[in-house]
Amino acid sequence: MTTKPSNLTLFRGWLEKGKYTWSPFVTKVEFRCRQAGLPYTVEGGAPKYGPKGKIPYVDLSPLLADASAGPSLFGDSTFIIQRLRSMGYLPDLNGNLAPEQRLHDLAVRGLLEDKLYFYHTRERWIDNFYVQREMALSSMPYPLRVMVGYIIHRSITQTLHGQGVGRLSDEEIRVLKTEIWQSFDDMLKERFGPMTTEQPVWCLGNAAPTEADATLFGFIVSVLVSESAPDSKKLVKSFPHVIEYADRIHDRYFPDYEKWT
């Protein structure tokens, strides 16, 4: 991994420095940078400026030797991490995993990013729309906020209906979310079992984190700090091992950030 200095800029969607954002994908990238000791600065930015039309995205131009090395703006948390890894700025956390562990890691990330994500999207943009709108679109004037919020709400409603989550009852969503978080709590309980220190534990039970940990930590934090996910926040707080897992990672890698309460 390179020891070259970094001038990486991470665009997080809003500019509350010293605080986590409500996006699990932003925290996922921040964890990877901090775990690797890669310095970065944060800026607000906006989805419309990102190459994927969403948050987060990064400006790689100070890290590129010349313009032909690739695009300077890079989006999508997974591809941001892959790009920084290919440039030598981030280590390959999964490089030494056995095939079964690679599959386990991928399954954890898929469960969070391709399943739980849609439950959270419904809770935020449908069930608690106004709270989510006011935060996510806070940089816009109120009339524009209303118009753009309506467009987003309509688009997400259609997406969730087609995807299937929009067809489920509130109780069915609650049962499915509980199953996921209960499973993580049970797994983490086993990880904490033999521990005699206050060091973080990791999803796969290894001595070091994998990509699954970056994703899981991001999703836990996004629920704990978000005001538009009250049901999920209450649910996650009911699982002590999930909270302890996040507490230890926060204390080690994010001591300068305001912690959830």
CATH dotted code for 99-253 = 1.20.1050.10
Could you report the per-residue pLDDT of 98-107, keeping only the tens digit for each? 999 999 999 9
Please identify every stretch of the chain with a pLDDT value under 70, giving residue numbers as ranges. 1-6, 66-70
Domain range summary for the chain, segments of one domain joined by + = 8-86, 99-253
49: tokens are 């400026």
The Cβ of residue 115 has, within 10 Å, a number of other Cβ atoms equal to 13
Report the predicted TM-score, pTM, of the whole model to 2 decimal places.
0.94
- pLDDT value at position 68? 55
Write a three-state SS string for 11-61. ECCCCCCCCCCCCHHHHHHHHHHHHHCCCEEEECCCHHHCCCCCCCEEECH
Give every CB contact of residue 99 below 8 A, 6+ residues apart in sequence: none
- pLDDT value at position 6? 67
Rg (CA), the chain: 18
CB crowding 53-91: b at 16 or more within 10 Å, else e:
ebbbbbbbeebeeeeeeeeebbbbbeebbebbbebebbb
Q: Is 250 helix (H, G, I), strand (E, B) or coil?
A: helix
CATH dotted code for 8-86 = 3.40.30.10
User: What's phi and psi for 64, nearest 5 deg?
Assistant: -90, 135
Beta-sheet pairing, 73-75 with 57-59: antiparallel
Could you report the per-residue pLDDT of 138-187, keeping only the tens digit for each? 888 999 999 999 999 999 999 999 999 999 999 999 999 999 999 999 99
- pLDDT value at position 51? 93
- pLDDT value at position 15? 81
| Residue 219 · residue 33 · CB < 8 Å | no
| Phi and psi based region of residue 104 (left: phi greater than 0; alpha: psi -120 to 50; beta: remaining) | alpha
